[in-house]
Chain A
């Protein structure tokens, strides 16, 4: 036995290499379940960082967050009543594990903070739902019920900043559906099956199916007197609203998002529709929109955007960006869609310190990077951590992704007119809208971003039920060929892990890397995993 090496491995963790003595992360798993025989030993410093500042810290803060936002009793009632919270959110630390497998040093620290923020925002939202939910309070409409607004998850949360002092705005499906898929992909199958059981065909976007299925299974809290819906991002969302209106059976306002949003006429039109939406809320709540409050929160959100731009600069121009692909994607989409929350600022503060230190020390945060990858189109929710696997296995470092690049703007607050104009624009640059279902000009902005982020490879998501992206599939193939850009496709069905399994996705990437790129894996133990039953 080589004691020197054993001591080195103990102190620093095993090296990330295919050579003998490499870390072989795939051997840590128990078959099928994705559970670990033991969690990864990352060396003394990183293992104890993970244990203290990620595992313990987040378990403790989860309890504290629950207590802070409504108490353990409300939480327990919610867990007992709603599948999506009970079945999903308990294994949340495993979600951390999957996202941060193999990470070390600053990359581990920076990415973990992003996860912490998302957990806090999630608890804030489901506790807000439970506090107001008539189903958990003997059918009674309490004060919280009258002071909570419900909107479709594709409506930007900032639309309701003008009532923030008196009302909470909580998206109907973001927590019951969207976030669950990342944490525990089993839950959502129930909702997809439920809506198909009442006659919906299997081919519409599974995200929309799941959103509707929540209602079919009677698994949505009743926490608000009305709801705001929206046609963002696609035909399926419009369809979902039809079912939601029926099952929700409450006053509903449909906020429009023009399809041709580059048209100068569209902005003015949307401004008027947003004003109508605000008027609807005023009529429902009896409380006028507070412009000063709106501006105050927009300014806070602008700060988040400005820091995001700083992060992009570092990601684009250095090797010291301390956030991995999955943390970057999920945090950004969550934060920009939900709108301002104190936790985003707190976490950005931590991340700033980590990032500045990494840049100052010229730390190569992903030292085994072989390719800088941009991920384009809609990502698989049940395998958002594929990029962690891809880095560990092949050195594919997903630097940036399409969802992060939405909402790429700050909003002016110097006058009501400017604010409204920018809010309208922000609304129209929503996820899956601008670069997925929007015009071809935006969809093919990919090349510009590749250059900007210094990427040499594309991970092209292939959401099998997204009609918009399927409709341009061949053009992408042609362009990749004509431009001689290495690109691999990742087929998936957004939340539904039964359509394309994780193993199938990995196999396609493996095939591409060996047969097209002629490369050898960095960690052969990860090439084939049986994680069919994993969360």
Chain B
């Protein structure tokens, strides 16, 4: 296939958190608001006057100082973020909107938070005098009580904080404007992503991963023109005559903001046609629907609790429905199997992966490759072997089924 016009530009945007577009938005007087988890609604951080940056720490393979503070026995992602913060990589942030949705990212955010306590020192990690960090509590279920609680949390800890500290307009009108912009991003990403459903997809999993990531880490209003252009380009993009992969897979699991990981999977012959992981598009790029007469903040709270497939959700029906949804994605994207991966030390996904590995194969007949990975996969040899073996097994299955 012909290279996408902006792919190299997008790849460059992913090299640093404080990328070219972030710098441009800052220069235009916008406030940069960091966050880590899907449960912090990015749409609220994209209100007029500020923009969201989902934090990453690309190429951080040796988080030494963070390891002193957090030990080597916690998730590499959390440590890498902290290391990057300690290196000054997040000094551009004006605020961090934090959630305690998993232990280690919580700890990272607590470390960078100016705490003003006598009992523990402030590390003054973010070299920005006005920087603040605010935590929002996120429920574990998705009932009416949870929607209301989450709405109240978002109002108290996100909207009020943004308004009081940065003077951001948090009116319903501003919210609707942000939702509109958010939904356009979703529409474009979905449009681009839907080409992965073709028999011979006109976009690779790697390319899509890069595009999805730039939509998370760049100011929306600045990345939108590029996304529009890419969506337009996709309409005429021709696939290779011969499909260069051997099977299609859904990539599911925990935190993954490393397009090189997707590239690794694809280099073994498995095209990643669906990204059901943290930072993936399956959830984060569903448009937010505000019913007529509905409080937009309530609609946002409900949206984020309803769309999440995080193993953090505890209701019984929800725990079980997650497996069904994965199976549905396999069908929807014409995939041949699933790769379920959890980051080392991610407790939620360690457990979820066990059930996925058994149940998806046993009850749905879907081949599953279950792996544990690091945030930065410097040692890819073992993974490559695993993926190659998986691709072969899927091929054999297809041959046996006469496909």
A→B interface (CB under 8 Å): 198-201, 203-205, 208, 212, 229, 231, 234-236, 238-243, 245-246, 251-254, 256, 258-260, 263, 265-266, 268-269, 272-273, 276, 437, 439-441, 443-448, 464-465, 467-468, 470-475, 477-479, 482
Contacts and interface: CB of A to CB of B under 8 A. Distances in A.
B71 interface: yes
Contacts of A231: 140, 314
B107 A468 contact: yes
Most buried by B among A240, A254, A259: A259
Interface in B99-144: 100-104, 106-108, 110-111, 115, 117, 119-121, 135-141, 143
Given A231-B314, A259-B100, A265-B156, A470 B73 contact: yes
9 contacts: A199-B357, A200-B354, A201-B342, A201-B372, A203-B344, A239-B311, A239-B351, A467-B74, A479-B120
Given A238-B311, A472-B107, A479-B121, 16 more contacts: A198-B354, A199-B370, A204-B350, A236-B351, A253-B316, A254-B315, A258-B137, A260-B135, A273-B141, A440-B117, A440-B120, A441-B115, A467-B73, A467-B74, A468-B103, A473-B70
Contacts of A468: 103, 107
A424 to B, nearest CB: 13
A238 B350 contact: no
Contacts of A201: 342, 344, 350, 372
Interface of B: 68-71, 73-75, 78, 100-104, 106-108, 110-111, 115, 117, 119-121, 135-141, 143, 145-146, 149, 152-153, 156, 311-312, 314-316, 319-320, 342, 344-348, 350-355, 357-359, 370, 372
Nearest to B347: A235
Contacts of B121: 475, 478-479, 482
A265 to B, nearest CB: 5
Contacts of B347: 204-205, 208, 234-236, 238-239, 467
A240 B351 contact: yes
Contacts of A269: 139, 145-146, 149
A441 B117 contact: yes
A238 B140 contact: yes
A254 B350 CA distance: 19
Nearest to A272: B145
B350 A203 contact: yes
B119 A256 contact: no
Given A266-B137, A447-B119, A238 B103 contact: no
A479 B104 CA distance: 20
B217 to A, nearest CB: 24
Contact of B103 (A199, A273, A443, A471): A471
B351 A242 contact: yes
Contacts of B136: 260
A212 B319 contact: no
A235 B319 contact: no
Nearest to B351: A239
Contacts of A475: 69, 111, 120-121
A98 to B, nearest CB: 28
Nearest to A270: B149
Nearest to B75: A467
B321 to A, nearest CB: 12
Contacts of A482: 121
A234 B104 CA distance: 11
Nearest to B352: A242
A449 B131 CA distance: 32
A260 B139 CA distance: 10
Contacts of A243: 351, 354-355
Contact of A199 (B70, B320, B353): B353
Contact of B119 (A212, A246, A254, A444): A444
Contacts of B78: 471
A251 B351 contact: no
A523 B81 CA distance: 48
B365 to A, nearest CB: 18
A234 B345 contact: no
A251 B110 contact: no
Closest 9 CB pairs of A and B: A239-B351, A471-B107, A474-B69, A254-B314, A444-B119, A259-B100, A235-B347, A260-B137, A470-B71
A474 B68 contact: yes
A256 B71 contact: no
A212 B352 CA distance: 12
Contacts of A272: 145
B137 A265 contact: yes
A208 to B, nearest CB: 7
Given A234-B347, A242-B355, A444-B120, A474 B138 contact: no
A239 B346 CA distance: 10
Contacts of A479: 119-121
A245 B138 CA distance: 22
B314 A238 contact: yes
B115 A440 contact: yes
A246 B323 CA distance: 12
Contacts of B74: 467, 470-471
